[in-house]
């Protein structure tokens, strides 16, 4: 017989998995770059939460710090700079 804590853990897992899937689908279907970045942040935070449920706190901290702090910033600036060059070429 399963205890109430295992049901709560299973419910938290399914909630975080749903948020991760929703974030991934939103990332693919978003029309604007800023919206897709927000969906990617939701997805990364949910994956970090799943790592915490698996009792891998170090991986959760690395997931949040490395991906959200550095990779997201670099990707956002790269997309913004690339998009600006494309728009300037269209007006010439």
Sequence-distant (≥ 6) Cβ neighbours of residue 35 within 8 angstroms: 26
* pLDDT of the residue at 82: 73
CATH number of the domain at 27, please: 1.20.120.1200
* pLDDT of the residue at 86: 53
Domain count, the chain: 1
The burial of 81, by beta-carbon neighbours within 10 Å (0-12 exposed, 13-18 middle, 19 or more buried), is given as exposed
Chunked into runs of 10 residues, the chain (92 residues) has average pLDDT values of: 83 95 93 82 92 92 84 76 60 55
* pLDDT of the residue at 91: 57
Q: Are 33 and 80 in contact (CB under 8 A)?
A: yes
CA-based angle 60:64:48, to the nearest 5? Answer: 40
Domain containing residue 17: 4-91
Would you give the distance in Å from CA 20 to the centre of its chain? Answer: 7
């Amino acid at each position: 017989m399963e205890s109430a804590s295992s049901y709560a853990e299973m419910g938290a897992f399914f909630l975080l998995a749903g948020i991760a899937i929703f974030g991934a689908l939103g990332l693919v279907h978003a029309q604007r770059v800023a919206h897709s970045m927000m969906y990617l942040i939701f997805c990364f935070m949910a994956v970090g939460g799943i790592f915490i449920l698996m009792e891998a706190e170090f991986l959760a901290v690395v997931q949040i710090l490395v991906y959200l702090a550095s990779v997201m910033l670099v990707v956002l600036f790269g997309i913004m700079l690339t998009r600006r060059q494309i728009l300037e070429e269209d007006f010439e």
